[in-house]
Amino acid sequence: MKGKLFILIAAAGCFLLVSGPAFAHHGSTAYDMTTLTTVTGTVTDFELINPHSLISVKVKGDKGKDEIWTAENDSAGALVRQGWTRDMLKPGDEISITGYRTKNRANLMRLESIIMPNGQKITPQR
């Protein structure tokens, strides 16, 4: 009996040890959570996918060159439950996205809100 209990506890401990990193990627350590960044541009792609949905926007950069910015969002399932649909953002739509940019200064952000073409502000519920 003690042997089975020990094996069960050891197996549970191993599971927790191995599964810890799987949950770690949902943190915000990759993002500069002290400063919001807003960019305005044209939607090039909207992927309502797992594990994170992505919105890509073509933006005029500081030097006049086009840049692609990507906003990472919640999972498709979470967004669908909030009323998001695959066709709510279409290539060519003019939108503004606001979020927390990555610390490495890539054109990637954790989405906080979108201003839609009709002026409606959408904020994912977390």
- In the chain, what are the domains? 31-122 (2.40.50.1010)
What are the CA-CA distances from residue 76 to residues 6, 82, 88 (Å)? 40, 10, 13
Instruction: State pLDDT tens for residues 7-57.
Output: 545 444 444 444 444 444 557 889 999 999 999 999 999 999 999 999 999
CA distance 13 to 61: 49
CA distance 18 to 24: 11
- Count the Cβ atoms, other than its own, within 10 Å of residue 80: 14
Give start and end residues of each alpha helix (H) in 1-126: 2-24, 76-81
Instruction: State pLDDT tens for residues 66-100.
Output: 999 999 999 999 999 999 999 999 999 999 999 99
3-state SS of 87-104 is CCCCCCCEEEEEEEEECC
Rg of the chain in Å (alpha carbons): 19
pTM summary value: 0.77
Instruction: Identify the three-state secondary structure at position 113.
Output: strand
